[in-house]
Amino acid sequence: METLVFFGHDVFIRLGCAWLAVVGHVPDSRYEMQTMVAGVRLSGVVAPLLFESAMNSAIYYTWVRDCLLPVLRPGDVVVVDTLSSHKSQRVVDLLESAGCRALFLPLYSSD
């Protein structure tokens, strides 16, 4: 279990609270998107990063290379969801070059 690193990210949208309180809605240009990405081990959170855009394959690759890879150990297994921007052979190759491997979760099914 110590070798597992779970990858996750979430998107936060900060609305203009004053607009929401006063007029009941937020005009289109009055919000900011922030995404937080991190790895989680049994020992805690590793490689957290907060940025102001949606996740894409370029940002994911850069996060793995610059933030996650330095805290991984040979033999670690990085558990990854199946979002298309996460299913990158470049990232798999990067993890394998460090002696780690990616384990992709199965597709979600509500059945």
The structural domains of the chain, ordered by start, are: 4-104 (3.30.420.10)
Q: Is the pLDDT of residue 9 over 80?
A: no
pLDDT at 19: 44
Q: Is the pLDDT of residue 73 over 60?
A: yes
Instruction: Name the pLDDT band for 23 (thresholds 50, 70, 90).
Output: low
Three-state helix/strand/coil letters over 69-86: HHHCCCCCEEEECCCHHH
Instruction: Name the pLDDT band for 63 (thresholds 50, 70, 90).
Output: very high
Task: Note the pTM of the prediction, 2 decimals.
Answer: 0.76
| CA distances from residue 106 to 34, 78, 89, 96, 103 in whole angstroms, order as listed | 27, 14, 17, 20, 9
pLDDT at 18: 47
Residue with the bigger pLDDT between 90 and 107: it is: 90
In sequence order, the 6+-apart residues with CB closer than 8 A to the CB of 73 are: 3, 99, 100
